[in-house]
Each structure stands twice: as C-alpha cells, then as structure tokens.
C-alpha cells in the first residue's frame, strides 16, 4: 500500500524525562513541526498524567485533539501492552478518532529512529538504561531496563546518584577530593554541597539524572573519580549491548541514544568502544540517524502503509544513506 500524498502523521516519544512530538504531512517537507511536554513514564506515573503529556506535546507540534491525523504512533517509556493497551488506545482514539493508532515502547521508537527500521541495536542511556535490537529476520531482543531499585547501571540517574555519593564521601573525609564537589555547587547554585545534597532528596529521578552531564564534563576535564564513573557506565552499557548481540547473532550496528549519550559525546563513545573490544564484540558503534520522535513518526507511516510507507517517509526526511545498512 502506498503512503498517500497529503497524509498527516504524528510520532510521539513519551520518555521518562520529557515527551516529544513530531508532526508531518506526506509530500510537504515544510510541514514538519515539533512539540515538547513533560515526562510520561507509563509504569511510574498515572495513565492520566501520561495522556496529558502526550496531548500537550502533540498540541505544541500543532496537532491538537481533533486534528485530522491518518496515523499516530506513541512510543512510551514504561508501556506494557498487557497493562496499558486498552485504556491508552481508548483515550488516544477519543482525541484523534481518524488516526490509525500504534502503541510501542520507547525502545522501539529509539531503535527505529537510530536505524530507520533496519537491523541494529540501541543502548539507551537516559534516565534509565536498557538495550534493544532487531535483526534482519525481525527477531527482537532486549537487556536491562529493570529500574533503579534492581539494576540501572549506566543510566543518567545512576551517574547522578554516584556523583552525589562521591561528593558525600568527600564531605565526610572518606573519599578523595574531586571536582564533582564544585560542579554540584555550581549546577545547584548552592555554595554548601551538604545542603545541596539534602535539597536534591526532594527531586524526582529526571532531575537527578541531569547531573550526569556534570560527571561527564568533569571526566573530560581529567577528574579521576568522574572518569572512573564514566568508565563504569560505559562498561554497563557495553554489557547490555553485548547481551542483545549474542541473542540476535547477526547484528553488527550499535547506536548510543538518550540524554546521557547526547551529552557524553566522544568521551562516552570511546569508553564504550573499549569495553566492546574487551568483550570480543563485533558491534560497530555508529551515531543514530535520527531521534526517537522521528522513529515514532516512521512507525506511524509503517502502521498505515507497511514497509513501503516507512521507506517513502525516510526518503522525504532525507534519511542518511550511510545509516541504511
């Protein structure tokens, strides 16, 4: 089935830190609009709050409820078909009754954005950490994503907590001096690091996760404690990716995605490459082609017109040819 000219599509990446929407009309490149709203984790937040964030992001992207969408894909953090599918579908269909609806986890959106729906593995290092991939047979595998109580090593929240732990140890005299102390006082605007830590106890996970940027900056500047934390995060991410690689067997491409990956730049990528080599992995690290919201947009096109719809949309979005294989 062809993707009809003039078709309105909406892709939404509903994440643990923020929700992003991307609206597009087939055949009209200048119709692309982006919108953003607050977090929407469907496991840790009420469904009503997640729905509100999705609607707010869509409205900001100029696709409010009632907009004549032909297809909508929401790729959501914490989404579980068995728990959320019926209620979410009913709420979203009430807002956009004309749309063919597709619901996926945020992992699928991130993977689709990174590789355009082709074989590959994404290691997601945002508020949480998890790896997901698909091979040429369409087989999928994942590792991680267990949450901070069980195992979230390598995530932004994990790095933020380890930063606060290092600062606390320095304050107590149990640890070595570190540039992380000054980084904490600078980012919080509080000259008293002990008071800054106590204030952060009241913050939600996304706020703690944002401290990961300070850890990476201090590591790049040469702080040994920060560098050790980044190396441990890289080790955890490589471990997740290799676990997926072993299950899918014939996948060779890996992309780092999420806020920590974006902020970590080459420092994190270099550390991950080193850990992959230690595992004997054949994965080749590549930058993601597009973000998860674009991935959700591709999945909306696929829901409407199959692989042909996804391929046409990739062409219209000037998809990098180097990312197709």
Q: Splitting the chain (325 residues) into consecutive groups of 10 residues, what average pLDDT does each group show?
A: 90 92 96 96 89 98 98 93 87 97 96 97 92 96 91 94 97 94 96 95 88 95 97 97 96 94 86 96 96 97 96 93 58
* pLDDT for 208: 94
Token code pair at residue 102? 């597709």
C-beta separation of 209 from 259 below 8 A: yes
For 24, 77, 141, 222, the CA distances from 253, given in Å and listed in that order, are 28, 23, 14, 30
What string of DSSP letters covers 197-250? HHHHTTS-HHHHHTTHHHHHHHHHTT-HHHHHHHHHHHHHHHHHHHHHHHHH-S
* pLDDT for 1: 67
Token code pair at residue 207? 């706020």
* pLDDT for 81: 84
For 73, 77, 79, 295, the CA distances from 104, given in Å and listed in that order, are 7, 9, 7, 11
Q: At what angle do helices 156-172 and 179-188 cross, to 10 degrees?
A: 110
Rg (CA), the chain: 20
pTM, to two decimals: 0.91
Q: What are phi and psi of 150, to 5 degrees?
A: -100, -60
* pLDDT for 323: 54
- The CA distance from 152 to 142, in Å, is 14
C-beta separation of 96 from 65 below 8 A: yes
C-beta separation of 322 from 17 below 8 A: no
- The CA distance from 164 to 160, in Å, is 6
Tell me the CATH number for domain 8-114+290-323. 3.30.420.40
- The CA distance from 113 to 286, in Å, is 13
Q: Sketch the domain layout of the chain as residue ranges.
A: 8-114+290-323, 117-288
Tell me the CATH number for domain 117-288. 3.30.420.40
- The CA distance from 144 to 128, in Å, is 9
- The CA distance from 133 to 119, in Å, is 7
Token code pair at residue 245? 């690689």
Identical fold, 8-114+290-323 and 117-288: yes
**258-268 burial, b for 16+ CB within 10 Å, e for fewer?**
bbbbebbeebb
Query: Hey, how many other C-beta atoms are within 10 angstroms of the C-beta on 33?
Result: 16
For 108, 130, 259, the CA distances from 240, given in Å and listed in that order, are 16, 7, 17
């Amino acid at each position: 089935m062809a993707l009809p000219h003039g078709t309105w599509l909406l892709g939404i990446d509903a994440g643990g830190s923020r929700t992003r929407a991307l609206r597009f009309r087939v055949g009209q490149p200048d119709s692309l609009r982006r919108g953003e709203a607050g977090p929407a984790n469907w496991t840790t937040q009420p469904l009503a709050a997640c729905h509100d964030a999705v609607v707010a992001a869509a409205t900001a992207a100029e696709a409010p409820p009632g907009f004549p969408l032909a297809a909508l894909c929401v790729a959501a953090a914490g989404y579980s078909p068995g728990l959320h599918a019926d209620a979410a579908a009913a709420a979203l269909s009430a807002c956009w009754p004309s749309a063919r609806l597709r619901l996926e986890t945020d992992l699928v959106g991130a993977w689709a954005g990174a590789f355009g729906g082709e074989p590959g593995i994404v290691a997601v290092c945002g508020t949480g950490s998890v790896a997901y991939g698909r091979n040429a047979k369409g087989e999928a595998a994942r590792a991680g994503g267990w949450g901070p109580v069980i195992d979230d090593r390598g995530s932004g929240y994990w790095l933020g907590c380890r930063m606060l732990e290092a600062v606390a140890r320095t304050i107590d005299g149990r640890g070595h001096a570190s540039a992380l102390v000054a980084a904490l006082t600078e980012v919080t605007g509080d000259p008293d690091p002990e008071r800054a830590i106590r204030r952060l106890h009241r913050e939600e996970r996304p706020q703690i996760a944002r401290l990961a940027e300070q850890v990476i900056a201090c590591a790049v500047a040469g702080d040994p404690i920060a560098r050790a934390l980044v190396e441990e995060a890289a080790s955890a991410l490589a471990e997740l990716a290799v676990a997926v690689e072993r299950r899918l067997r014939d996948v060779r491409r890996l992309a780092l995605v999420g806020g920590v990956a974006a902020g970590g730049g080459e420092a994190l990528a270099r550390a991950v490459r080193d850990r992959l080599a230690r595992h004997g992995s054949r994965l080749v690290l590549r930058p993601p082609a597009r973000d998860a919201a674009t991935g959700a947009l591709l999945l909306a096109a696929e829901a409407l017109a199959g692989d042909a719809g996804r391929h046409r949309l990739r062409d219209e979005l000037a998809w990098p040819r180097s990312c197709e294989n």
